[in-house]
Amino acid sequence: MSLCLLDIKKEVDQTRLYKDELDSDKIEEFEGRFDKIIAEGLELNPPPQKEPGKRGRVKQSPPKNLLDRLKGHKREVLEFMYDFDVPFDNNQAERDVRMMKLRQKISGTFRTTVGADVFCSIRGYISTVRKNGHHVLDAIQDALRGDPFIPSGGVGE
Model pLDDT for residues 115-132, shown as the tens digit of each residue = 888 888 888 888 889 888
99 & 135 share domain:
yes
Q: Which pLDDT tens digit goes with each residue over 22-75?
A: 999 999 999 999 999 999 999 999 888 888 888 888 888 999 999 999 999 999
Structural domains of the chain, count? 2
For residue 156, is it within any domain? no
pLDDT above 50 for 156:
no
78 & 25 share domain:
yes
Q: What is the mean pLDDT of residues 88-99?
A: 77
- d(Cα 16, Cα 12) in Å, to the nearest integer? 6
39 & 100 share domain:
no
58 & 108 share domain:
no
CA atoms within 13 A of residue 28's CA, in its CB half-sphere: 3
- d(Cα 56, Cα 108) in Å, to the nearest integer? 37
Domain that holds residue 117: 91-144
